[in-house]
Amino acid sequence: MSTIYTGRLVLRPFHQGDAEAMFRNWTYDERVARYCRWYPHIDIDSTYELLELYLSEYTDTFDYRWAITLADHDEPIGCIDVVGFADEGRTPEIGYVLGNSYWGKGIMTEALRAVIGKLFDDGYERVIACHRIENPASGRVMENAGMHFIGESKVNMKFGSARLCTVKNYEICKEHYNEQDMHC
Ligand SMILES: CC(C)(COP(=O)(O)OP(=O)(O)OC[C@H]1O[C@@H](n2cnc3c(N)ncnc32)[C@H](O)[C@@H]1OP(=O)(O)O)[C@@H](O)C(=O)NCCC(=O)NCCS
């Protein structure tokens, strides 16, 4: 499975034993879950279950989920992954979360840029992501990673909920990966 090294980060596969750090750093935290589709974990058992799911989903053909760790400390402080595919499997959609203590340091911009590069290296031509309109910081991450706003849509606010919310959709195309201001 792939590990990605950036200037400050190591993006590595999740391991058995990561649940405590996941719970401590983000899965318990309403501030992190607020604009995501999952609910904060009330106790660590839910995080153990999530980690088991993560580990079971790694296959020969899908390993696009990384624990975000700092280069000098092998503890997950967040997660970045492919949450689905559009265009009949041709276009991966990226999602991400980061522990509150680590916000505002450019960490997710660095991680997102690296994951986009990995997906392009693997042959994908376009990558997408979206964020709730109430969560502009995530839009800045996408823009800073070179993605472009392409429109709004409605999605289910939470897993298992029929309530809809508005999201802003972004894309980046391989041919424009190193150009900051061109659309596909
Ligand atoms: C959104 C999130 C991923 C950002 O990660 P991060 O590492 O703090 O992001 P970065 O430091 O790389 O960049 C943050 C950008 O947002 C900007 N920002 C922060 N708060 C903001 C706000 N309230 N409004 C607008 N921009 C904001 C910062 O100024 C920065 O942009 P800049 O570099 O142009 O100044 C992180 O806060 C998080 O995990 N939140 C909870 C989970 C989540 O929302 N995930 C995304 C779901 S779509």
Cβ–Cβ < 8 Å for 1, 13: yes
Q: What's the gap in Å between 105 CA and the centre of ligand 1?
A: 9
For residue 63, the model assigns a pLDDT of: 87
- Delimit the domains of the chain by residue range: 4-176
pLDDT at 16: 96
**Nearest of 126, 102, 118 to residue 29 by alpha carbon:** 102
Percent of the chain with pLDDT over 70: 96
pTM above 0.85, yes or no: yes
Ligand 1 pocket mutation, candidates 141, 165, 167, 169, criterion most atoms within 8 A of CB:
141
- Which atom of ligand 1 sits closest to the CA of residue 141? 13
Which of 103, 110, 158, 166, when mutated, tests ligand 1's pocket best, judged by the most ligand atoms within 8 Å of its CB?
Answer: 103
Q: Answer whether residue 177 shows pLDDT above 90.
A: no
Q: Within a 10 A sphere around the Cβ of 52, how many other Cβ atoms?
A: 12
Angle, CA of 158, 69 and 20, to the nearest 5°: 65
Distance CA 28, CA 30 (A): 7
What is the per-residue pLDDT across 52-74, written as a single tens digit (0 to 9) for each? 999 999 987 788 999 999 999 99
Phi, psi at 52, each rounded to 5°: -60, -40
154-174 pLDDT, tens per residue?
Answer: 999 999 999 999 999 999 999
Cα-to-centroid distance, 41 and ligand 1 (Å): 22
Kindly give the distance from the C-alpha atom of residue 94 to the centroid of ligand 1, in angstroms, as a whole number: 15
CATH of 4-176, one of 3.65.10.10, 1.10.10.10, 3.60.60.10, 3.40.630.30: 3.40.630.30
Say if residue 96's pLDDT is above 60. Answer: yes
List pLDDT tens digits, range 14-29: 999 999 999 999 999 9
